[in-house]
Structure 1
């Protein structure tokens, strides 16, 4: 589904704006496909699903946006284009910051926030920033290694032969080949520069769910203490996975999301 040149995966069902809406927001140098399993299930169980490709990523047109604030504004404009008055936002990593900022900007429009692999400040190491700028494949390798808890796949993986870490690497390579130069660096700089996290969190009144990976090396659960403290009404679920928990533990993530979104 295209909205103003922006691609949204609707989970294999025609989008219906009258249903409870869930918007899925991916992380750096990813696209909508990281949510394929969760978004498809929810689309077939009573939700209107928009799993987006951010501008400059995947199938969406236009240049990549440079700041979390710009991305949050884009999300709210997307809701307007889809005819959606209210939605729950589910964001992973960079996407979690976008969701948080969008809720801060339009509190009456956001019915819930699910923040996966989230932290604030979301500082990126100098070594990774340098690799993203000057040696993209090295940056992809670094992120891929740090985003998975092991090379042995979890029992809940969708099918035999489902190569989680290999799939993640190929996705980042595909986004790099189709997108603008140094996209990884653009995304990481947006995360690194976002300064409104505490103010945004303190303004959020809707229900909030943190989903953490117990073996997450990119955004370790302990690093989110300040963000969690700013959202004292939030619930936290921990799954046995690394940063790419949606693929490593798809059933556990879906169970957490389903329980959170259910009225």
Structure 2
């Protein structure tokens, strides 16, 4: 897993074999308290894509990346800009889950010229976190780790997914997870979201209790020309519960972009 230094922090990331600046880069951003393993079932089919680079970072303070995380979604978007500039990446296809979805929305609003497409997964233009969750992360982490998987997945999710989820949580400091959730709770760009004009794919799941389908419906209604899909029988981490369906939706969208890229090149 390669790494680069960004503003003093060592940032680790997954990528394809060679990053070619002339190709757009699919940049996948995980959510609160998570890491690049969020996308482990997507990396395989994207690493060898003929028209796109792939980069999947651990955000600062998460898993293998050093640092203390960021206090706001805005700060995370600034980090992401520094990260892509350090890697000298060209056009970006930003893919964000949950908090990561907030990060890539803000990035797109701030630097629209850098973004050729956007994929929003289990996210919204506003993210709210229950007070009980914020309290348990700070004061009763053991209980948080026990309850979190039941909220992250549908009731039919395999035990292995739930166990792996807890293992992922434990790779990031408790203080960073709490800070992430505070950043989510403070996030609200509902008045700005209609300014996004890049091709956008929105994916929700019908059993997601953290960012319900209505969040995706709202984004779809505000982002002109966006595509909207609902994955059935999955919760907040639908890319892990239903990887084949998720990957098909994602790859169809990317293939439509690659066709346009070829025609325009």
TM-score (norm 2): 0.89
> Are 1:54 and 1:64, in contact at CA under 8 Å, matched by a contact in 2?
yes
Q: In 1, Cα distance between the equivalents of 2:249 and 2:75?
A: 29
Question: What does residue 159 of structure 1 align with?
Answer: none
SS in structure 1 at match of 2:164: helix
Residue 116 of structure 2, aligned match among 111, 114, 120? 111
1:182 to 2:186 alignment: no
Residue 172 of structure 1, aligned match among 152, 169, 173? 169
> Are 1:8 and 1:53, in contact at CA under 8 Å, matched by a contact in 2?
yes
Offset at residue 142 of structure 1 (A): 2.4
Structural mapping, 1:1-263, within 5 Å: 1-4=2-5, 5-11=10-16, 13-46=17-50, 47-153=52-158, 163-175=160-172, 179=173, 181-199=174-192, 201-240=193-232, 241-262=234-255, 263=258
Q: In 2, Cα distance between the equivalents of 1:235 and 1:86?
A: 20
Cα-to-partner distance string for 1:136-162 (whole Å, 9 max, x where unaligned): 222222221011112444xxxxxxxx8
Offset at residue 197 of structure 1 (A): 4.0
Q: In 1, Cα distance between the equivalents of 2:215 and 2:25?
A: 30
Q: Which runs of 4+ in 1 moved over 4 A?
A: none
> Are 1:147 and 1:218, in contact at CA under 8 Å, matched by a contact in 2?
yes
Q: In 1, Cα distance between the equivalents of 2:12 and 2:128?
A: 28
> Are 2:220 and 2:227, in contact at CA under 8 Å, matched by a contact in 1?
no
Offset at residue 196 of structure 1 (A): 2.6
SS in structure 2 at match of 1:51: strand
CA separation of 1:197 and 1:2: change in aligned 2, threshold 3 A: farther
Unaligned runs of at least 5 residues, structure 1: 154-161
Q: In 1, Cα distance between the equivalents of 2:85 and 2:130?
A: 36
Cα-to-partner distance string for 1:12-66 (whole Å, 9 max, x where unaligned): x233333321000001110001111212211112221110100000111112111
Q: In 2, Cα distance between the equivalents of 1:239 and 1:43?
A: 24
SS in structure 2 at match of 1:90: strand
SS in structure 2 at match of 1:3: strand
TM-score (norm 1): 0.89
User: How many corresponding residue pairs?
Assistant: 249
> Are 2:203 and 2:216, in contact at CA under 8 Å, matched by a contact in 1?
no
Cα-to-partner distance string for 1:77-97 (whole Å, 9 max, x where unaligned): 111111112110000000000
Q: In 2, Cα distance between the equivalents of 1:124 and 1:152?
A: 22
